[in-house]
Copies of this chain bind each other. A is one copy, B any other.
Amino acid sequence: MLSKNQIKLIKSLGQKKYRQQLNLFTVEGVKGINEFLNSDYELETLYTTELVFEASNNQIQEISEFDLKRITSLKNPNTALALFKIPQNRQPLEYGLKIALDAIRDPGNLGTIIRLCDWYGVQDLICNTNTVDCYNSKVVQATMGSLTRVNVTYLNLETYLTTNEASVFGTFMTGENVYTSDLPKEGVIVLGNEGNGISQVIETKINRKLTIPQFGNLEATESLNVANATAIILSEFRRRSIEM
Q: Which residues of A contact B (CB under 8 A)?
A: 35, 108, 112, 115-122, 144-146, 149, 177, 179-180, 212-217, 220-222, 224-225, 227-232, 235-236, 238-239, 241-242, 244
Query: Inside 8 A of A146's CB, which chain B residues have their CB?
Result: 221-222
Q: Determine the chain B residues whose CB is within 8 A of the CB of A144 once the complex forms.
A: 222
A112 to B194, CA, bound (A): 13
Whether B238 and A215, one on each chain, are in contact in the complex, defined by CB atoms closer than 8 angstroms, is yes
Rounded to whole angstroms, the CA-CA distance of A117 and B121 in the bound complex is 27
A243 — nearest CB in chain B belongs to which residue?
B180
Residues of B within 8 A of A235 (CB): 212, 231-232, 235-236
A242–B179 CB distance below 8 A: yes
The residue of chain B having its C-beta at the shortest distance from the C-beta of A218 within the complex is B121
Most buried by B among A122, A144, A212, A225: A225
Task: State whether A149 and B216 are in contact (beta carbons under 8 Å apart), knowing that A179-B239, A222-B144, A224-B115 are contacts in the complex.
Answer: yes
Q: Which residues of the partner chain B approach A112 to less than 8 Å between Cβ atoms?
A: 225, 227-228
Q: Are A120 and B215 closer than 8 Å at their CB atoms?
A: yes
| Nearest chain B residue, comparing its CB with the CB of A120 | B215
Q: Do A149 and B225 contact each other (CB < 8 Å), given the known contacts A119-B215, A215-B120, A232-B235?
A: no
Decide yes or no: A177 and B225 within 8 Å by CB, A119-B214, A220-B145, A232-B231 being known contacts.
no
Q: Which residue of B lies closest to A222 (CB)?
A: B144
Pairs A–B under 8 Å by Cβ, sample size 27: A35-B220, A112-B225, A112-B227, A115-B224, A117-B216, A118-B221, A119-B212, A119-B214, A119-B215, A119-B221, A120-B216, A121-B214, A121-B215, A144-B222, A145-B220, A146-B221, A149-B216, A149-B221, A177-B242, A179-B244, A224-B231, A225-B227, A229-B231, A231-B232, A232-B232, A232-B235, A235-B235
How far is B108's CA from A108's CA once the two chains are assembled, in angstroms? 10
Task: With CB as the reference atom, state the residue of chain B lying closest to A237.
Answer: B215
Question: In the bound complex, do residue B216 and residue A121 qualify as a contact, i.e. CB atoms below 8 Å apart?
Answer: yes
Contact between A180 and B244, CB atoms less than 8 A apart: yes
B-side contacts of A225, CB under 8 Å: 112, 115-116, 227
Q: Chain B residues near A244 (CB, 8 Å)?
A: 179-180
CA distance A112 to B224 in the complex (A): 8
Bound Cα distance A114, B132 (Å): 25
Closest Cβ of chain B to A239, distance in Å, is 4
